[in-house]
Structure 1
Amino acid sequence: MSLQSALIGFLMSKLLRKPMSAQENVVLQTTAVATGTMPLAAGFVGILPALGLLDEKRDGVPPVHLSWIAAVGWSCAVAFFGVFLSPPLRKQVIIEEQLAFPSGTATGQLISVLHQLPPPDTTLRQRRGYNALASADNEDEGVPAQETDALHRSGLGSDMTEVAAVGEQEGWNALSWSFAASGLMTLLAYFFPAVFTIPLFGTYLATEWMWTFTPSLSYIGQGIIMGFPTTLSMNLGMLVGWGILSPISKYSGWAPGPVGDMTVGARGWILWVSLAIMCSDSVVSLIPVVVELFQEKVWRTFRGHSGDDMAPESKEIETEDRLVPMSWVIWGLGGSIVLGTVLVWLVFGDEGIKPWATVIGFVMGGLLSVLGVTLTTTALWGRSVRALGETDLNPVSGLGKISQLFFAWIQPGNIVANIIAGGVAEAGAQQAGDLMQDLKTGHLIRASPRAQFYGQLIGSCLSIVVTTTAYTLYQRAYEIPGPSFPAPTAFVWLGLARLLRDGELPAKSGVFMVLFAILFGFVAAAKTSAVRVGWPYAKWIPSGVAFAIGFLNTPSFSLARLIGGVVEHVYYTRVGRENGGIKLIVIASGFVLGEGVVSVVSLILRTFGVGVVSCWGCGHGMCGGCPAA
C-alpha cells in the first residue's frame, strides 16, 4: 500500500498550514508501510490462529491462545529484526546492484508528480550528484521497460499534468465518495448480514457447498489493485477447487465430513492440493534464481575478474550524516536477536521452542530476507525469472514453506516449534522485502535514509500495540478462524507442520497433490521462461500461488476480486492508463479504507452488545453475524 499511503498522505497534508515536502511524504509512507506490515510479519493472520487450532489428541499439545500482553511480547520479538536488516540490504541491492523495486519506483514517480518535481532518475547509471529539486526543464531520462510496465500496472501514465490535477483537485472527491460508499455498505452488512452473503445458485449450494457471493467494495478495490491476470488465476483455482475437486472428494468418500470442515471436509481435503501447488510453484521458480545468483556471484568470483570488478567505486550518493551508521545496525541486529529469543522463550516456554532454535530462526530469517528481496526485485528487471515478479509481491509464502521444512529437520516432532520458528524466519523476510520498496522510493526522491529508518522504527513500535489490541478485540467479537474471518493461511501453516510430523494425508489426496504439483511445475517453468524472453502475453499464464489461493478461500473471497480485476482491465482498455489511471487507484484505495475503518466501528458495536437488526435471508446459515450461523 505504499502508493496509496503516499497519495492519501499528500491529500491530508493539504489541510495543514504548510504542506509537506516530497521528502516528508516519503517518510510518511515509509512509516505507514512499516505499521501495516506488522500484522503479517507477526503472523496475526496465520501463525497465531494456527496455534489456536492445535488439538491435544491429534498434536499432543493443547491449543495456544496468547493473552494481550503475551501477544505484545511476541510482536516485540519479531518487530525490529527486519528493520535493522534494511540498511545493509539497501546498500547492497539499491545502491550497488541498483535493482528495480517496481512498487518503490512507481511510488517515487507518483510523489515527484504530486509535488511537481522533475521525474526522478530511474536509469541504472550512477546517480551521484542528482538533485531532486532540479529545474523542471531538465531532460527526461529514459525508464527501463520493466519499470515502465510496473508504473503502468500502478496506473501511472506519462501525462503528468493530468496526474497532478487529479491528485490536487479531484483526489479528495474520488477518495471521499468511494470511502463513504464502502463504509456505508460495511455498516449495512453488519446490521443485515445477508447483504454480504448472497446465495449464488440457491440455498442448497450455499448451505452445503459454500457457494455464496460477498459484494464487498473492499474486495472489489483489492481486485482493482491486484489486476485482472492475478484475479483470473485466483478464480480459475476457485472453479477447479470448489467446482470440481470438492464434489469429487465428497462423493468419493475421501472427505466425508461437512464441506466446510478443515479436518474431515472437502475444504480440508483440497487444502493439501493447494499446498502442493504453492510448494511446486515456489521451488520451480526458485531454482533458476539460485542458479543465476551462483553464476553471477560465486562462479564469476571463482573464475576471477579484474579491473572494475575487483575494486568497484561506491555508488552511494548520500552523506554520512544522512545514513544509518553500521554500529547501529550491528547493535540493533544483535539486540533484536537477544531480545527476540528471550521474549519468545517467555511467551512460549521451553516446551514450545528451544532458545537455540529461535536463534537459528533469526539467522535463517536474515538469509531468507536476502533471497526474498532478490526474488522480488530482479524478476521485473529481467535478470532473473521469478514468475511472481509480475505481481510485485514479496514471495514469503514460498519462503515460509522452506523455513518449516528446515525446522522439521532440526527439531522434529514439535509442531509448536515448527510454526513459531518458521514464523520468526518469515517475519524478517516479510519486513525486509516491504521496507526495501520504501528505501528505493527514498533513493529516487533523495529522502534521508536515516529519517526513513526512524519512520520504520516508529511504525513498527506503534503497530505492536495497535495490531495486538485490534486482534484481541476481534477475537472477543468473532470466531477466528470462523465464517467472518476464515484465516486460511493458518490452516496452511498447521497443515504443513502436521504433515512434516506425521506424514499422514487424507485419503487419495497424495495422488492429486503429485499430479497438480507436476502440472504447476510445468506451468511455473513456462511462465518463468516466457517472462525471461519478454513474451508480451506471459502475464496471462496462470500464477500457481494465485491459483492455489483460490483453493484456500471460499468462492465469495475470489468472485468479488474478479469483479475488481475486470473493472481494472475494462477501464484501462477503454480509457487508457495515461488518461485517468491515478483516479482508479484513488477509488480502489477509498473502497479498501472505507471498509477497514468502518469495520472497527462494527467491532466496537459488537463488543458493546449491539447486534444485528435482522437475520432475514440468512437461512443458509452462512451469515457470520447471525445466531443461525
Structure 2
Amino acid sequence: MLGMSPKIASQADGGNTPANIKSLSIGWMMAFLFAVSFLGLFSIVPLRKVMILKYKLTYPSGTATAYLINSFHTPKGAQLAKKQVAMLFRSFGFSFVWAFFQWFYTAGDGCGFSSFPTFGLKAFKQKFFFDFSSTYVGVGMICPYMVNISLLIGAVLSWGIMWPIIETKKGIWYKAELSDSNLHGMNGYRVFIAIAMMLGDGIYHVVYMIVTTSLSLVQQYSSRRKANSTVSSEVGNESSQIVNFDDQRRTEFFLKDQIPNWVAVSGYILLAVVAIIAVPFIFHQLKWYHILVAFSFAPILAFCNAYGCGLTDWSLASNYGKFAIIIFSSWVGLEHGGIIAGLASCGVMMSTVSTASDLMQDFKTGYLTLSSPRSMFFSQVFGTFLGVVLSPLVFWFFYNAYPIGDPEGTYPSPYGLLYRGIAILGVEGVSSLPKHCLTLAIAFFAAAIVLNIIREVLQHVDAKCKIYRFIPSPMCMAIPFYLGGYFAIDMCVGSLILFVWEMKDKRSAADFAPAVASGLICGDSLWSVPAAILSLANLNAPICMKFLSAATNNKVDAFLTGS
C-alpha cells in the first residue's frame, strides 16, 4: 500500500502517472482487506486432516506454542511464567522511560540520540551508527545470530564498499544531476540490486519447497503402498498407530468438532465472487478476470506454502507476492496502471497464502493442546475480522502522525519503494535501469542462489562441524542495501547482549531473554502513541541535540558571533 502512495512514487521517479499512483485512504484500505483477507482461511480447511494426521507435519512454531501452553499448566511452568511476566514488565518500563527521555532532544530534523555519530561523521554519512533504539536491540535478541550478522555483512558490502565505489562513477554511469533518491541514479543500484537478491533467494526457496513437497508426497504415497502390500505390514502399521495413547487422544479430539468441506468450499467460492466484484471498484486498474485468475491459483499456492511451512517453518507468502507483482504488472502494462495492478495483486496473493499457513499452524497447536479445530477456525476468522478493522486504523494513525516513507526520517519504509521498484521492473523492463545496474543485479541474483545451494549442500554433507550455520542469508543481506547499517548494528548489539548472557548463565538466558526482548520492543513501541499525540497537538520537544564536525562548528560560531 505504501508503494502505491504519492510519497513513495515521488522517490521512485518512474511510472509516476495518475493511473500508477493511489492516495491512501482508510476507507478503501479497510474495504480491500475485508475483500481478500478471509479467503486463505477457507482455502486450506479441507486439507487440515491431511496435513496434521496423514502427513504428520511438524509446524515448528505451532508445536513450540503448544508446548509452551501445555507447560503453563504445570506448577513449575506457572511459576516460571510469573517470573517471565515480571521480567517483561521491568524491561518494558526501562524501554518506555528511555524512549521518553530521548524525545526531549528531538526538536528538529537530525536531532537526538538517533543521530549520534557513534563511529564518526563519515561513517554516519554512510549510515553506520548506533541509534539507541530499544526496539531493534530487542529484535536482535530474538533473531538468530546469523540473521543479525547477515544484516551487518550486507550493510558493509553495500554502504561500506559498493555504493562509495559506484558514487565515484557519477556522471559516467548515471547523470550527475540526478538526486540520490532517483531510481535512474544512485538509488537505482540500491533498490534493484536488493530486489535481485530477494528474488534470487525467493525463487530458490520456492523451487526448493516445491521439490521438497513433491518428494515428501511421493515418499508418503510409496510408504502407504508398501504398507498395504502385505497383511503383516498392515497390522504392524495399525498397531503403531494405536500404541501411543496421547496421539490417539489428540486424534480423537481433532476429529470431534469437524468443519464440513462443503462449508469451506462454498465459503471460498462466495468470498471469491465478492472479491472479484469489489476489488476492481477499489483498483480500476485490475479487471474481474485478473482477480479470477489470481484466486484460481491461490489455493494451489496456499497448499504449497502451508505444506512447506509445516516442514521448515518458512512462510514464503512475500515471495509469492513478488511473483504476482511481476506477472500482473506486465499483464496490465504501464499505460493502464500496471504498477498499481501489480501491487494490488501482491496484496491479494499474500493475504490468501499467508493466512492459510497461519491457520494450519494454529490447527497444529490445537491438535497438541486438545483444542477444538472448529474453535480454532472461528477464532482465526474473528481474529482476522479484528485485524482488518484495527490494522488500517493503527496504520492510519501513524501515517498521519509521522512522516511515513521519508528516507531520512524515523520510518523510511524501505519495502514500499522496493515493492514499487519490482512493479516498475515488471512494466518498464530492464531498460529503465542505470548503466551496469542490470549486470550487477544478475550477479547478485545468482549469488543469492549460490549461497543457498552452498548452505544446503553443507547442511547435508558436513552435519558434524555445522559450517552451514555460518553461511549468511541473502534475504537478510539484501535489506540493508537500501536502508543502511544502523538497524543492523542495533540488532548486533542485541545479539551481543544475548551472547554474554548465555556465556554467564545459559538457562537463565533461555528462560528470560525472550521476555526482556519483548519488553524492550513493546516499551519503545508504546511510546510512539503519546509521541504521536504530542505531534498531532503541535507540542514539540524543547531541545535539539545535533552533532557537527569541528570545522562546521567553527563556521556556526563565527556566523552567530558575526565575526
Range of TM-score over shorter length? 0.7 to 0.9
Name the residue aligned to 2:164. Answer: 247
- 1:274-332 Cα shifts (integer Å, max 9, x gaps): 11112222223333432343344369869994654999999843365523232331222
Matched, 1:81 2:5: no
Distance 1:529 1:375, change over 3 A: farther
Aligned counterpart, 2:521: 592
Number of equivalenced pairs: 515
Residues 368-399 of structure 1, C-alpha deviation per residue, up to 9 Å, x if partnerless?
Answer: 222222333323xxxxxxxxxxxx44222322
Task: Please state whether the residue corresponding to 1:201 is helix, strand or coil.
Answer: coil
What SS does structure 1 have at the residue aligned with 2:283?
helix
Alignment check: 8 A CA contact 2:258 2:374 kept: yes
Give the Å deviation of 1:90. Answer: 2.7
Which residue of 239, 249, 258 maps to 1:323? 258
Is the 8 Å Cα contact of residues 209 and 304 (structure 2) preserved in structure 1?
A: no
Q: How do residues 203-602 of structure 1 correspond to structure 2 at under 5 angstroms?
A: 203-206=121-124, 208-253=125-170, 254=173, 256=176, 261=181, 263-264=183-184, 266-297=186-217, 305=225, 307-308=227-228, 316-318=251-253, 322-349=257-284, 352-379=285-312, 392-408=313-329, 410-413=331-334, 414-482=338-406, 483-503=409-429, 504-533=432-461, 534=463, 536-576=466-506, 578-602=507-531
The code of the aligned residue for 2:326 comes to L
Report if aligned partners of 1:258, 1:265 keep a CA contact under 8 Å in 2: yes
Aligned match for 2:23, one of 65, 76, 80: 65
Structure 2 CA distance for partners of 1:274 and 1:109, relative to 1, 3 Å: same
Question: Counterpart amino acid of 2:467?
Answer: Y
Taking the aligned partners of 2:98 and 2:259, their CA distance within structure 1 comes to 45
- Distance in structure 1 (CA, Å) of the matches to 2:74 and 2:219: 46
The Cα of 1:232 is off from its aligned counterpart by 0.5
Same amino acid, percent of matched pairs? 23
Deviates more, 1:402-411 or 1:467-476: 402-411
Larger radius of gyration: 2
- CA drift of 1:424 comes to 0.7
Give the corresponding residue for 1:22: none
Q: What code does the residue aligned with 1:108 have? A: A
**Counterpart position of 2:109:** none
**2 CA distance for matches of 1:571 and 1:95?**
40
More helix by share: 2
Mapped partners of 1:432, 1:260: distance in 2:
40
1:189 aligns with 2:130: no
Alignment of 1:146-225 (within 5 A): 161=76, 164-168=78-82, 170-193=83-106, 194-206=112-124, 208-225=125-142
Distance 2:154 2:499 in 1: 20
Instruction: State how far apart, in whole Å, the 2-side matches of 1:545 and 1:473 are.
Output: 30
Aligned counterparts of 1:302 and 1:111: Cα–Cα separation in 2: 36
TM-score by length of 1: 0.75
Of stretches 258-267 and 175-184 in structure 1, the one that deviates more from structure 2 is 258-267
Secondary structure of the equivalent of 1:53? helix
Tell me the alpha carbon deviations over residues 476-505 of structure 1, each in whole angstroms, 9 at most, x when there is no partner. Answer: 122221112111111221111111211221
Contact 2:131 2:486 in 1 (8 A): yes
How far is 1:584 from its partner?
A: 0.8
Cα deviation, 1:448-470, whole Å, max 9, x if unaligned, reads 11111122112111122211112
What secondary structure, in the 3-state scheme, does the structure 1 residue paired with 2:546 have?
A: coil
SS of structure 2 residue aligned to 1:613: coil
1:12-71 CA deviation, whole Å, 9 max, x = no partner?
xxxxxxxxxxxxxxxxxxxxxxxxxxxxxxxx5x55558952679734335211321111
Kept in 1, the 8 Å contact 2:276–2:291? The answer is yes
In structure 2, distance between residues paired with 1:295 and 1:423: 30
Compared CA separation, residues 619 and 427, structure 1 to 2 (3 A) = farther
Which ranges in structure 2 are unaligned for 5 or more consecutive residues? Answer: 107-111, 242-247, 550-563
Q: Structure 1 residues 427, 260: closer, same or farther in 2, change over 3 A?
A: farther
Q: Give the AA of the match of 2:529.
A: V
Change (3 A) 1:610 1:184: same
Deviations 1:583-629 (A, max 9, x none): 11111111111122221221222122222222221669xxxxxxxxx
Shift of 1:211: 3.5
Note the aligned Cα RMSD (angstroms).
Answer: 3.0
Q: 1:88 to 1:347 in 2, by over 3 A?
A: same
Give TM-score scaled by structure 2 length: 0.83
Paired residue secondary structure (1:64): coil
CA deviations 1:422-444 (Å, max 9, x no partner) are 22111112222233322221111
**Whole-angstrom distance in 2 between the partners of 1:515 and 1:491:** 21
